[in-house]
Chain A
Amino acid sequence: MRFPTDENVIVGLERADDAGVYRVSEELALIQTVDFFTPVVDDPYAFGQIAAANALSDVYAMGGVPKTAMNLVAFPVKEMDLSILRAILQGGIDKIREAEVVLIGGHSVEDKELKYGLSVTGFVHPRRVLTKKNLRAGDRLVLTKPLGTGIVNTAIKAGLADAKLVERVTRTMAALNRAAAERLAAFRVHACTDVTGFGLIGHLAEMVSGSGTSVHLEAAAIPVFPEALDFARMGLIPAGAHRNREFREAMVDFDRGVSRERQDVLFDPQTSGGLLISLPAEDAGALCAQIRQEGGTAAMIGEVLPDPAERIRVG
């Protein structure tokens, strides 16, 4: 398919990045993104927060600052109480306010299945756009949220997660990637994306493909919800994780010491996951320290190797 384009498109459809970027002037480019999905948690207010954090994340992942948002709603108005919709929208609004973004419109349709999300617009300097492409040998990889939310959500659906775990996972999914994103400007960041439906390996594979480099992941250094390992061992793995594995397995070399369940977590589809950042080693240490100092999660999970085979090695 050929897409209409012009010379001001900095990141368009053919790049398949986190969001589109369009140059307005020498100093300003627009970042545009849209994302919506069916509920991932039972609590409608929390779902609203998570959906908003997830939509905003694409702007952060491009190195931008989100400015405006519009609601997208599909709601079974005949079957479901309107108070549920109100709670979802309130969750979204509170999250948007936290991000200092304004809500300037929206659209709703009647649908059998409830869906909520946002279209978000942000600003970035045209020369400071961060994409998935540009890994450099010697870089370190930093991840800013723990993995395993897909598996834990499967366990929640199965009624096997306790209330405290539900709360912890919900808090992680609803957390904005803002704090980490705002720190990035001070460092020599080479590439950035956010970890969502394709899982850590799926999104990393997009970064590695065409980069002329390979990466090494330190399995023990990757932050995960430990309960996710237990649930994976029991077979509480979302179908998406199996699909992600099938799709990308051929690119990955697992060391024998990496257990099957730890592999599962690396393929686990994440809802509103963390940023995955590639930057020089010295910068990576300082970035992690800064994010942690502010109470956020940040872990150095691996490095970019000069090997042109474009492999993902996990040890």
Chain B
Amino acid sequence: MKEIDCRGLACPAPVLHTKATLQQDRPESVRVLVDNAASQENVRRFLESEGYEIRIERTGQDYVIVGRAAGAAARSEERAAAAKPAPDRQTLLVLCTSDRLGRGDDELGRRLMVNFLKTLREVGPDLWRLVFVNHGVKLTIDSSEVLEDLKGYETSGLKILVCGTCLNHFGLLERKQVGETTNMLDIVTALQLADKVITV
């Protein structure tokens, strides 16, 4: 059991100390002592994000956060369980890598993509995730012709994932209007879980 005393330290120091300890070696279990609620919450979050199972103990004014490694496998299963769709349905993921459909005429491709996304609703409840990467992220910003359609999908419960790296690359982070800005791990997990992936 690794013990880290972070009493007397203000945020974000307790998280950083814990992080440094985890980087040296990955202990099976770890105890972190803090003396305020904010640090307790932050260290708990950090250990959870690192795949530890958490128990909190109170000793006087102090908090002890006890983390037990759940293991990398358990962690990815947990991610999967959280994201797993209803078992009786086929799950369809549509990966949009461009704001045009097909190659050749750009103007035609633009119109086709608009039509494609408007028509996609005909797939019905099997449609499970809509993922936008590369030029595709431009379909999620304020000037998008399909913004209202995408918002409609989202309102009806379809989860839309938008690549944060791509938005950043095009300088569009602040113009995105629909969907959840996400990272590659979430995209890869979604691809893995889907029964069928359509790439356009």
Residues of A near any B CB (own CB < 8 A): 146, 154-155, 157-158, 168, 220-221, 223-227, 229-230, 232-239, 242-243, 260, 288, 292, 297, 299
Known: A230-B183, A235-B45, A239-B39. 11 other contacts (CB 8 A): A155-B12, A158-B15, A168-B173, A234-B45, A234-B49, A235-B41, A235-B43, A238-B11, A242-B37, A242-B41, A299-B177
Tell me whether A225 and B173 are in contact (CB under 8 A).
yes
For the complex, give the distance between the alpha carbons of A190 and B45 in Å. Answer: 39
The smallest C-beta distance from B100 to any residue of chain A, in angstroms, reads: 23
Tell me whether A239 and B36 are in contact (CB under 8 A).
yes
Tell me whether B12 and A297 are in contact (CB under 8 A).
no
Tell me whether B44 and A235 are in contact (CB under 8 A).
yes
Tell me whether A236 and B174 are in contact (CB under 8 A).
no
For the complex, give the distance between the alpha carbons of A238 and B36 in Å. Answer: 12
Tell me whether B38 and A239 are in contact (CB under 8 A).
yes
For the complex, give the distance between the alpha carbons of A251 and B154 in Å. Answer: 26
Tell me whether B142 and A242 are in contact (CB under 8 A).
no
Kindly identify which residue among B41, B154, B178 contacts A237, using a CB–CB cutoff of 8 Å.
B41
> A-facing mask of B11-37, CB < 8 A → 1, else 0?
110011001000000000000000011
Q: Which residues on the A side are within 8 Å of B12 (C-beta)?
A: 154-155, 157-158, 235-236, 238
Tell me whether A158 and B180 are in contact (CB under 8 A).
no
Residue B113 at the chain A interface, CB threshold 8 Å: no
Residue B42 at the chain A interface, CB threshold 8 Å: yes
Closest to B46 in A: A235
Q: Which residues on the A side are within 8 Å of B142 (C-beta)?
A: 288, 292
For the complex, give the distance between the alpha carbons of A297 and B172 in Å. Answer: 11
Tell me whether B46 and A220 are in contact (CB under 8 A).
no
**Residue of B12, B37, B175 with highest tally of chain A CB at under 10 A:** B12
For the complex, give the distance between the alpha carbons of A157 and B168 in Å. Answer: 22
Kindly identify which residue among B11, B173, B178 contacts A226, using a CB–CB cutoff of 8 Å.
B173
Q: Which residues on the A side are within 8 Å of B41 (C-beta)?
A: 235, 237, 242
Tell me whether B11 and A154 are in contact (CB under 8 A).
yes
For the complex, give the distance between the alpha carbons of A225 and B164 in Å. Answer: 10
Tell me whether B164 and A237 are in contact (CB under 8 A).
no
Closest to A315 in B: B155
Tell me whether B181 and A237 are in contact (CB under 8 A).
no
For the complex, give the distance between the alpha carbons of A232 and B48 in Å. Answer: 12
